[in-house]
Amino acid sequence: MPIKQQGGVFGRHPTFNTVDVDGVLNTGGNVKVGGTTLSNPNSYGNILNVQGYAPAVVLTETDTGKNYTLGINGQSLRLIEGTTVRTTFDTSGNLTVNTGNLIIGTSGKGIDFSATSGTGTSELFDDYEEGTWTPTTAGDATGVITGAVGQYTKIGRLVQCQCQFQVTTNFTSNAIDGLPFVPRIQATLSNQYGSYAVNTDGTGNVFFRINDAGTSAAFEETTGQGGTDHLPNTTNNRYMFCFTYETDS
């Protein structure tokens, strides 16, 4: 039975199987739905059986007119925009984001793994980032490089870098600059060491030394114990390398 906005007055205790309200239903007390009493029903929005979700709360966003349904389907609680399921929360405690992303809204917050076994000082995963960086010459280097391109992936405070460039003038310094993050200062080690592959005619193994301040890294070459500076040169002028280091950023 429909109740129109300009309808008449009913008896003191009217009973209907189905009621359609044309407009806003205001109540002076509680509303009982399916045997459950809801106090202050206006704060619950519209209580409906919609799209197979029962009971359900339908909320209308006033600026856009979009309808959002929060309802139970089987053993899952779901949030639906129109007919699209956005998120699902099941009885096992699993939260599924069906569309969109899970966004951490505050810097320094993330996913806390402290419930797992371990003795680490922190089990909070609070950062992930992908991007590009461009190496430049550093220190007293007079080398000129061209075609420099690089990419990085940051997981927590661990940074993995890749890059390549061509040398057009021999380096007088073994350093490059422009690392995407400042290396972490080590408490017991003066530097961090990474590894890389490079086109070179050097007789020893070439690797990277990550300086513990600034954003530079140095090429070094070793033929056994100890090491010497490796100067990028025009003989084999195309260098390709990758390395990993830690940052406090």
Q: Is pLDDT larger for residue 206 or for residue 144?
A: 144
Domains of the chain: 2-97 (no CATH), 130-246 (2.60.90)
Rounded mean pLDDT of 142-164?
91
pLDDT at position 103: 92
Percent of the chain at pLDDT > 70 equals 62
State the average pLDDT for the chain: 76
pLDDT per residue over 205-237, tens digit each?
Answer: 677 788 766 788 888 877 655 568 888 888 778
Going from the C-alpha of 175 to that of each of 158, 179, 218, the distances in angstroms are 21, 11, 4
- Give the pLDDT band of residue 198 (cuts 50, 70, 90): low
- Amino acid 150: pLDDT: 95
Confirm if 89 and 76 have CB atoms less than 8 A apart. Answer: yes
Q: What's the burial of 187, exposed, middle or buried (CB within 10 Å: 0-12/13-18/19+)?
A: exposed
At residue 147, the pLDDT reads 92
